[in-house]
Amino acid sequence: MNNYDKKNIQLRQLYNINKDCNPCIFGKIEHNHKVFGEGSPLATLMFIGEAPGADEDRLKRPFVGRSGKLLDKIFHHLGFSRNDVYITNIVKCRPPNNKTPLPEEITPEAKKLLKDEISIIRPHVICTLGAVSTQLFFKHPIKMSQVRGQQIQFEASKIILLPSFHPAYALRNKDAEKDLFNDILEAHRISKIDN
Ligand code: URA
């Protein structure tokens, strides 16, 4: 079996195991759907957002609303598509009123599921989108202004973290949109370098 099929099966199994349980507290809200990651199982670049919104909940796919359209536009300008990367969220169910998940709402189960997705994909680069997903990778409190656009190598893994702004913020701020564009350009470039 080739690597694509192997990883694809592992991802399907992972999502299947988690489809009926509540890896985050928002999963207990009745009409919510689980929105798992999507993209290429062989992606060398992975994007991690916060949580699904109303459009994502309805279509059961990550980043398909306005924020996702901005990502698609940037990818298109850079000559690739969402099928070439992997896109997921920390929290797999839509929080009420699209609220930002609080640290205590990101349960150990949600973190474990994300960790398992990362272990299967084994990307070269992870581009976190916004402060919530970026903070997850740090033990101490961070400010986006200090880490955005930086390439951060964690000793324990070969994966490079490149934090950027959340596209929802970039939609309201032209400078942030330029930064997001440049960060994705750089993240994509370094994800193609063999590690
Ligand atoms: N915002 C996120 O963080 N994730 C999505 O999937 C959509 C919007």
Residue 156's pLDDT is: 76
- Candidates 61, 85, 89, 136: which one to mutate for ligand 1, based on the most atoms within 8 Å of Cβ? 89
Task: Indicate the average pLDDT of the chain.
Answer: 93
Residue 128's pLDDT is: 98
CB atoms within 10 A of CB 194: 5
- Write the residue with the smallest CA distance to atom 7 of ligand 1: 63
Which of residues 24 and 150 earns the better pLDDT score? 150
Query: Using 50, 70 and 90 to split pLDDT, how confident is the model at 27?
Result: low
pLDDT digits (tens, 9 = 90+) for 54-82: 999 999 999 999 999 999 999 999 999 99
pTM listed for this prediction: 0.95
Q: Which residues pair with 114 in a beta bridge?
A: none
Ligand 1 neighbours by CB, cut-off 6 Å: 49-53, 56, 62-63, 65, 67, 89
Name, in order, each residue with C-beta under 8 angstroms of 15's C-beta and a sequence gap of 6 or more. 34, 36
Which of residues 31 and 158 earns the better pLDDT score? 158
pLDDT value at 155 more than 80: no
Residue 154's pLDDT is: 79
CATH number of the domain that residue 161 is part of: 3.40.470.10
Q: Which domain holds residue 9?
A: 3-191
> From the CA of 46, how far away is ligand 1's center (Å)?
14
pLDDT value at 28 more than 90: no
Q: How many domains does the chain have?
A: 1
What 3-state DSSP class applies to 2?
A: coil
Residue 179's pLDDT is: 98
Residue 152's pLDDT is: 96
> From the CA of 98, how far away is ligand 1's center (Å)?
9
Which two three-digit tokens encode residue 130?
């916004």
Nearest to 168 by CA among 137, 117, 132, 135: 132
**Residue 49 alpha carbon, nearest atom of ligand 1:** 3
